[in-house]
Chains A and B, each alone.
Chain A
């Protein structure tokens, strides 16, 4: 048998030798960037710079890395035929361009008829004004550079032209991980019952039938994550190396987004985030005004739910900043003037209408009257809905017919004017009179088939739903350019109108104005949103005018807070690439606090600009670097209390608070300096010592000498002043820095924290989450006694038998524990594991008493109840990998958990189909 020498090792060795040869024997001076590329390819760990982001590279026909070079000639272009794979691009005077395999660089460098070899530096686009205006280019060119790699940009929109080159990798495969067309026909996503989902493989195979007939979604996605391939990088999106997941919630038939579909799309994306386990930011460039505008609506609640799950959502503020869609006044007595501009009525009945919704304080019951000219309806009392047929058209007044909305205690008033009875709706200034209420009445135009509005509007409260959601990052738009190069020549906004007359740098006139109805600060900030060049869907029907098309038709120009939103979504992706642990709240705070202010924006939050203009470089800088000293987990310059918090959160909840690889490296400080590959309480001790300044030379010897796990003995539950507690006795060298977790059902824990019985300076951090109690023990002064007893409070003695204790060491491996009272042991087994189409589950409940068998996900949620009973039993049953609803669970790790009166047995199960 011949033993194969691994090709990768061989290649790395070869390149390393070549690099040495080049360094030692190069006859021609060579650009350090090219040498860096050679070093990096040779596997030299010192080459930490991302040279491939600075030097033009491409993949050759055999997949080999080719590099772009500029040759300084010495009296003309010599014959370079002996340089394998070299292709000359052009020659101009003493300068020539060429591309060649990286492996040929050594040959080229050995020549004596060239003056120098320089790298063809990668130039980043400067023609697109928005990118440099928000300093995104600085982030791309920084060290390290951030481009959105390993982050998922998720978009809910009208569709995506997945065939566009800007959404492909360099090798032509798609960067889109999944598409769900909610109105499509095909295989729905796991956990959903309608629409059609495609994977990246199916997209590459050409089986996806989704299309973007509107063009909005492709443009938006290109802004956030297109890589600009079709323009040589000129119209590159902000996070151009992010992966993409797209949910087409738009209904091409009715021309809008139905809120239930966008809710389903949000839930779909949340499930995808769990599936992929990567940072995600969601873009929603959509909105409307039907709803309370105070964050209490269902769609806003879903936004907040996703935010609570750690997903940041960027949502457009809306484009009603100059559209007179809002009105407000005292509900005690106010006339809201609603203008119907003269229009040409549609032929027939029931096809012209205008709908207004208003919200008032629910404590009182105002009446509503609608009038035009000298004619008025009767006053409709609160709690009733009435229709009035008149010569002016048909008028419906629904004055809070359902009473107060229990979610906010307010009342909703609807007024609809239409032609349902065949009488054309009259134009003119209609008056909606509110009388007898309290507080403020706020009204919005919801929809009309003709031009309508509130002529007296001050435009405030025009931020749309779901941009009003508490957790959303809500974007207004600014103007960064007046003109652009179109295929018909230079096009512009012209002059004599608000868009054209707005100065570059000023607010886009259409940008919706805050605050929310309940007075919260929206929008949060602004981003470029006028004359934005991005991807054009080839399915747009009809195609946009030539003045809007750019660069051969691959791109087009659009504007709106729809564009400001994906710009910021891209910035968030860059932030998440730098630190995937940032919470949505942290991201929003950073974006707002790092926003640029100027003479246009003012220096404080205001309802037009929010906190100012998004500044990518400042936002990334606010996160801190990634190469701080030991213990500097958040890379803000040194170990701080925040680093301790981050590490504790990670130790007690590594699923919910995962650390990036850089943060893990910074956190793994025990034993110093290289770390031991684990993040555990010993690391925590040392970081705290750093902060307290006790980590002087010699002092570290006082830290635990080893990470040996402590010996653990569990006592039987004993009554105490609060109920019951389980005594846990720890001894041994590892006591000074220990960590463990204890599983019990929610509700079985007493509210009190763990109680430690030990002398000396002992710190304990305890954290309960989803029925699991996490405990960290650390002793900064190393004066801990050999033995430590911790009492874990529980509510019942019988259910808190110590057999359920799961002790986890620094590697997350269960520790052996000695029981003070032997328990009969049950078991649970799953075969096969990993589970494909299905598995057999065999288990033993060893004693009489309530028991149940269920499947949990890693977030502690029960996803499938399999069996339960009260008698001792050994049983085998089949499980198809489904949840309680019969839907197939997503692939991943689950926990098969057998809980009996005296013990909890957990078996890890991997679903892989």
Chain B
């Protein structure tokens, strides 16, 4: 503009009349000619400037439109729940799962996303969902329960029994773009037609005809505004609004408007109406959820109604269209009355333009707003688990891709088990405080599926809503006696020297340490127990016996075994390692014990199963892969010994806490000065590690059995307790033996017990009872043979 003014001044200078020439008419003609020339010149100059300006805007708007890379948050899903007869799931658990998945309990499950319960039967109207392996349509599934498990599954529509069905997984978190936008893309082909036509009826009636700018619309708006004496109508077309949204500016200057209009014309020149409308549907700002801006109708539908766009009723579509004008002013949760008036206004326009009949519009006006009470919040309850997911994905993806590519991440989390795990930690620590332990104690809990290594729940803080230090992943603490089973495992691998009844010495010992001081490990009860069996030493967690055994094995062998079991921590090769002077996280301890619980079939713990693009194409899958441990027969024998820790050892109070005699394996752990309390335990299907301690590593008065075991029991009281698998693999077997002498015995001999042995470690000598029984058998065979002959 400055240049243009300068040019016109130049023109005037050049056109200045020579002094004393010509009269008034001449002057007039002269001026007329000059004005003409001036206009031409001006026009030329303007055009010369406008062309590059337009070219510049054209480049900008096309780059924005074509290169538009909407940053889409990644969606994180829980595991999908399989429903089949016999599945260990109660109606109560199912309801937790449904609630987390955003299902609504109603009297008639008429629409997907609803369910009803009558007696011990639930009817679920399952939503359609693209599972990682296949897409499944909406389905009405009836599930009948018999106590803690599913008795029958039926297709409620067709009445046929189903062998297997599944629920769409709960969306448990979103990993948002850094600029904090939340968006779910929609395809114009798939949005309800009423949204497409209704939007035009309300915002831009000439959308189909105008070239990007609607002069008649502007005139009409100007007139309306003039009449009202204030701005009541906007003349912007949808295209102009889209441009405005692209460049996100509140600047309302003339220049800005002019640029917007120009860009709108350019957009229309390059792209067709459908493309522009689709971009609009995905771009327009429709609300604010905390720090996240809700963009586009796809997300707005979930945000306001907890329903996908294609399932909205006319009045809900009308509300969304109404909100376009002012998402904050017409916020239906904050200003329901105002929003309702606006919605009804929109419904009237629908009727006016024939999109709805008068009767339909009236029915729609009569309907309530239908906005869900609170928008579904993601992540607040699951951030500890999401930390683990991010950790696993960080090996493959950059943080910015997780935040922008709209990935669909399928995880292993079980929402109902997570809820139970968090309650076990929170309630358990409160109960411990009531019993006199410090109220500031913290806790962590990891729950995984034994065979698959899939992490089902993870708790990193006593307060589940607090996102901060995640103790399950990051609290590196001494593990105490939790390490001992590995010392005994190594002994059992030496089948020529050890079996569970081998006697070892539990007596004081003094070891000289590297710094010249002496180390004299003591037992927890302060007493040395003399000669004890391996089994006793382990189940009673005797320190002196364990250190002696360890010294025979060698500390380096133990460290090597830890590495084989997946622990990659730097550990000093000193004898105190035998008593757990190893600092590990609860997650690492879970990995070690998963191998034991799965009878030596190690599986790397997993929190992610598959990752897909926003379009549903598989990017990566983390399949079940087994890494078998060496000497699995010794692991199976050890498993039995760990069930005896619960049966008769340091965890003997566990069955009482669980209220069950199911065969469970476990190990307690306590560290020096009662700083850390550990409990590791497993059933046939689930393994969990619980830790309790003080964040500053102060003495906390805790032991494995007085703190962590209570939390573990608090969780497993609520889970199905499948007995530990005690079948021996090749290379190990069960024998009847006499526990006092360690010799072979028989079932009928008094005091005989059945114990597992690694092949080659079994006793050869028979007990007196067995020897006598064999003699008897021989005689009886002779008698039978003799008898027959007679």
Are A and B interaction partners?
Answer: no
Interface residues of B (CB under 8 A from A): none
Chain A positions near chain B (C-beta within 8 angstroms): none
